[in-house]
Amino acid sequence: MKQIENGQDKMKTKIVKIDSNNIDTSLLTEAAGILKNGGLVAFPTETVYGLGADGLNEEAAKKIYAAKGRPSDNPLIVHIADFHGLEELTRECPDKGRKLAEAFWPGPLTLIFKKSSKVPLSTTGGLDTVAIRMPSHLIAYELIRTSGIYIAAPSANVSGRPSPTKAEHVIEDLDGKIDMIIDGGKVNIGLESTIVDVTSKIPVILRPGYITVDMIEKVIGRVDIDKAVFSGIQDANIRPKAPGMKYKHYAPKGDLTIYEGSSENVVKAINKITEEKLLLGYRVGIIATEETFPYYKKGNVKTIGTRKDENTIARGLFEVLRDFDSEGTDYIFTESFDNNHLGQAIMNRLLKAAGYHIEKV
């Protein structure tokens, strides 16, 4: 249904709650019907919420770009629910790719293959390759199975904003622009899937995520990491292989700076800069951890998790950035995290959100 509001075409978005432990099949069938008919449905996955459309329907895929305000050269991930999908969507399936799929699917890993002719260029942003993932979240998995289609789905945020980790975030960004939002509660992981390009002899990680380098190397031996993962977008000589990684991303409206150094020095430096900005009348937010929380004296201090379990940090990151946005925060100061295991993905997102602004103290 469409209605005209402020002279603009606005859609009525249906918002439904589905419990992943007890899936309401009639609601799921309704969502599947929308997708089959070329509509847009946002749904939870184990990583972040996705904005789904029929991946083999050129017009449906185009609607995703319009709703997100996404540049059309930024390709979409196609979500499948069985290995037949892998055969159908790819032209070649190298041994290492198959091994990774068998080891980590369903789960938070996206693999890049040479695409088959079935996949339209509007889905792949004009590329000859296709990104494929089999999600483990039961709602996502059952939605693909019930619809019987392959679901193209980027993160369900407006382009440039932090990825959504709960339905409220999707509503904030996409209400009135898509047909349906499935509220399945808060996601598990909180950071987008690891992306591995398996079209080269030595596979390359294009985006770090929950599936770490160590986990991948245990299955297939050496992998490389795309140089763009840790270098700034300012570096014109380094072109990321995942087109999406070149765009300004995850950026909060406030000015975000990362402080790196010993815990003591970081706390001291953040307390000092906070004091200065408060005196000038700015709203200041601090991203702290359970370990350091008591040491921040002023400003709006939020704990994202505990350093004893980096999963909690990953889960809290995008939410805290969005919360500071909705509170009109001018300056955000954050601690940094170890750059190994899951920390690699956390720092990759944090650096992008901060526009690579890092203070060593």
If the CB atoms of residues 29 and 72 are measured against ligand TXA, the closer one turns out to be 72
Picked from Mg ion, ligand TXA, none, the partner binding residue 208 (CB below 5 to 8 A depending on kind) is none
Window contacting Mg ion (CB under 5 A); options: 66-74, 151-159, 182-190, 275-283: 151-159
Q: Name the minimum Å distance from CB 322 to Mg ion.
A: 14
Return the residue of 122, 155, 292, 348 that touches Mg ion, per CB under 5 A. 155
Picked from ligand TXA, Mg ion, none, the partner binding residue 195 (CB below 5 to 8 A depending on kind) is ligand TXA
Q: Name the minimum Å distance from CB 64 to ligand TXA.
A: 9
Read off the amino acid at residue 184: G
If the CB atoms of residues 65 and 333 are measured against ligand TXA, the closer one turns out to be 65
Picked from Mg ion, ligand TXA, none, the partner binding residue 85 (CB below 5 to 8 A depending on kind) is none
If the CB atoms of residues 106 and 299 are measured against ligand TXA, the closer one turns out to be 106
Q: Name the minimum Å distance from CB 11 to Mg ion.
A: 21
- Determine if 47 is a binding residue for Mg ion (CB under 5 A): no
Phi and psi at 27, nearest 5°, equal -65, -40
If the CB atoms of residues 9 and 66 are measured against ligand TXA, the closer one turns out to be 66
Six-digit token string for 208: 């770090």
Q: What is the per-residue burial (b if ≥16 Cβ within 10 Å, else e) of 185-207? A: eebbbbbbbbbbbbbeeebbbbb
Picked from Mg ion, ligand TXA, none, the partner binding residue 206 (CB below 5 to 8 A depending on kind) is ligand TXA
* β-sheet bridge partners, residue 182: 16
Picked from Mg ion, ligand TXA, none, the partner binding residue 193 (CB below 5 to 8 A depending on kind) is ligand TXA
Read off the amino acid at residue 54: D
Picked from ligand TXA, Mg ion, none, the partner binding residue 182 (CB below 5 to 8 A depending on kind) is none
Q: Name the minimum Å distance from CB 74 to Mg ion.
A: 9
- Is residue 27 within 8 Å of 120, Cβ to Cβ? no
Distance CA 295, CA 326 (A): 25
DSSP SS3 for 173: helix
- Residue of minimal Cβ distance to ligand TXA: 244
Query: Percent helix, strand and coil across the chain, each rounded to 5?
Result: 35, 20, 45
CA atoms within 13 A on the CB side of 171: 11
Binding residues for ligand TXA, rule: CB under 6 A, are: 45, 47-48, 50, 74-77, 110, 112, 124, 127, 129-131, 133, 153-155, 192-193, 195, 206, 241-245
Q: Name the minimum Å distance from CB 173 to ligand TXA.
A: 12
Q: Name the minimum Å distance from CB 317 to ligand TXA.
A: 14
Q: What is the per-residue burial (b if ≥16 Cβ within 10 Å, else e) of 37-75? A: ebbbbbbbbbbbbbbbbbbbbeebbbbbbebbebeeebb
* β-sheet bridge partners, residue 5: 8
- Is residue 353 within 8 Å of 250, Cβ to Cβ? yes
Which of 2, 1, 5, 130 lies closest to 56, judged by CA?
130
If the CB atoms of residues 144 and 245 are measured against Mg ion, the closer one turns out to be 245
Q: 146: how many CB neighbours lie within 10 A of its CB?
A: 19
Site residues for Mg ion per CB under 5 A: 155
